[in-house]
Amino acid sequence: MPVFVTAQTSVGYAQRGAVTSLIQFARTLGGAAGVAALGSVLNTRLGPFAQEASVLLDPRPGADLAAGAPMRAALADGLHWVYVGMLVVAVVAIALARRLPAEMPEEAQRTEIAAAG
């Protein structure tokens, strides 16, 4: 939410709607790109085990359930790398958030005016 407020207060009143919609569009686009990127990481890790996992689809009783162990290991490995990717994204987001101004632009102007006056 601070990104919305910071962006809205940094532009004129006539441009606030455009800035608000641009931020929401960027969030949606970033979310879609993030899901696609992290989904491809998971898919890359699971891909080699997909053929072996087809044994698990056999509806007959007594199907080879032991074949699920490699698939579970592949899923755990894939999710590990997805979480590593999420950690990298979170660290970058924190670094960018720390660069945001401590005061809102309008508040900074009021502070300067009050100090001068």
- For residue 12, pLDDT over 80 is answered with yes
Burial 78-97 (b: 16+ CB within 10 A, else e): beeebeeeeeeeeeeeeeee
> Where are the domains positioned within the chain?
31-101
Residue 59 dihedral angles phi and psi, to the nearest 5°: -80, -10
Q: Rounded CA gap, 17 and 27, in Å?
A: 16
The residue-averaged pLDDT of 84-113 equals 79
pTM: 0.68
44-58, 61-75, 79-93: which has the highest mean pLDDT? 79-93
Tokens 């162990």, residue? 69
Where would I find the H helices in the chain?
2-9, 16-46, 50-53, 68-98, 105-116
